[in-house]
Amino acid sequence: MEIKLTEYGQRRKRLMKKIGTGTAIFRSAPTVVMHNDVEHVFRQDSDFFYLTGFNEPEAVAVLAPHHEEHHFVLFVQPKDPEKETWTGYRCGVEKAKEFYGADEAYPINELHKRLPQYIEKADRIYYHLGRDKNFNEMILSHWQRLMAVYSKRGTGPIAIEDPNPILHPMRQVKSLTELEMLRTAIDISVIAHNRAREFVQVGHYEYEIQAEIEHTFRLHGGTGPAYPSIVASGANSCILHYIENRRQIQENELLLIDAGCSYGYYNGDITRTFPVSNKFTGEQKAIYELVLEAQLKAIESVRPGKPYNEFHDMAVCVLVQGLIDLGLLKGDLEEIIKEEKYKPFYMHKTGHWLGLDVHDVGIYKQGEGTWQPLESGHLLTVEPGLYISPNIKPTEGQPEVPERWHGIGIRIEDDVLVTKTGHEVLTAGVPKMIDEISL
């Protein structure tokens, strides 16, 4: 399965319609990462990939809707049989037109010479400054040169504008084919989580579970983990980005697994926490029930038209009330929330956009105090948690946490698609209800 050439063309068309008489420039991820002289797997820049489907380094895409002949131009690495023997196939200049639909293609080393014809009549350059200093300088030098003659010519790009506010809302609403890619990434992630759950035993090392998960990703055609897999037993589950995965799992502990598969650059992102001996202790169960209730209620509030913050606020409200009921926080619910006195237990947000990037592009706020409304085709994670680190320091005036609660870290994370009428939990295939994960 893959995104068709026509869809990339439609995306470029939509963008070009919005930039009108401007020229947009997108750079690929710069190059294959080398560690000493060992080459690491290349990962294309997501914006560049979204617009071109072109999966090589050292490339530039120019979109010039006002140009007489060439609206889509690709600059690419030329064919080089000797280099290709070492680092793999290159599409080359000739085939860039045929395979990727470019109106014109050039070798990348001609960029400096060829770029002016595509920007000198534009009224703006759309370019995201900041990713690559040398490339920024090249764009700025072209721009300055054109501005120096602006008064004589009466045309030229009077501004450099960031394309992200135009491009990223496009990426945020997933097309049907993108959803197929995402469903595949997520389905593989589901299989891997279920495989891990079957495999886990007291005495296993965390890395053994990680190996089962990542083996499953590749086995089903995924490119690998979407982010470093977290397999956290015992108190390690209180470390949000625990990725060492070296500890041996002990009896009666919880195991938190946060792992997702990447498939064709689209990503899954799932967390489950469960008792390794199939039985919760009283404290573990109380916290798990709370996180689960927060997650289920948060998911309920995902539907089109709802402001983005609502599912987070819902989760915080449930978690805080539960912590008060358990005696782990004291005081007035609203005041605890307003003054963020719950933060030693819950220090992250309840979700993020998901797509070509795991923490995908897209705005959360539309201005001071106005949250982005959810829209059909948005994909987000819902991932509340509670973390009672052995080193937890309550905020001033709050009770000390008795030791029997220490070391409990729980997160439950699902990938939730906003539909026309509500939502769909794409990760529902991994059990999370208490009777499904314990005896």
The residue with tokens 């927060």 is 294
Separation CA 3–CA 88 (nearest Å): 22
Question: Nearest distance from residue 354's CB to Mn ion, in Å?
Answer: 7
Active-site residue 387, yes or no? yes
Active-site residue 80, yes or no? no
- Of 229 and 398, CB closest to ligand GLY: 229
Active-site residue 37, yes or no? yes
Active-site residue 266, yes or no? no
Active-site residue 348, yes or no? yes
Which one of the listed residues 43, 70, 168, 348 is annotated catalytic? 348
* Site for ligand GLY, residues 152 to 171, rule: CB under 6 A: none
Residues 6+ apart with CB under 8 A from 305: 373, 374
Of the residues 206, 269, 357, 415, which one makes contact with ligand GLY according to CB under 6 A: 269
Which one of the listed residues 37, 68, 396, 403 is annotated catalytic? 37
Question: Nearest distance from residue 290's CB to ligand GLY, in Å?
Answer: 19
**Both structure tokens of 365:** 């706020």
Of the residues 135, 205, 207, 227, which one makes contact with ligand GLY according to CB under 6 A: 227
What is the length of the chain? 439
360, 381 Cβ separation under 8 angstroms: no
Active-site residue 127, yes or no? no
Count the neighbouring beta carbons within 10 Å of the beta carbon of residue 183.
19
Amino acid in the structure at residue 296: L
Question: Nearest distance from residue 22's CB to Mn ion, in Å?
Answer: 34
**Both structure tokens of 137:** 């300088």
Give the nearest residue (CB) to ligand GLY: 258
Active-site residue 424, yes or no? no
Long-range contacts of 53-57 (CB under 8 A, 24+ apart): 53/2, 53/3, 53/5, 53/8, 53/100, 54/28, 54/91, 54/96, 54/100, 56/28, 56/90, 56/91, 57/28, 57/29, 57/30, 57/31, 57/32
230 secondary structure, DSSP code: E
Active-site residue 269, yes or no? yes
Residue 414 is a binding residue for ligand GLY (CB under 6 A): no
Which one of the listed residues 193, 197, 411, 423 is annotated catalytic? 411
Instruction: Give the x-and-dash track for 402-431 against Mn ion (CB under 5 A).
Output: -----------x------------------
**Which active-site residues does the annotation give?**
37, 241, 258, 269, 348, 352, 359, 383, 387, 411, 413
- Binding site residues, Mn ion, CB under 5 A: 258, 269, 271, 381, 413
- Binding site residues, ligand GLY, CB under 6 A: 227, 258, 269, 352, 358, 383, 413
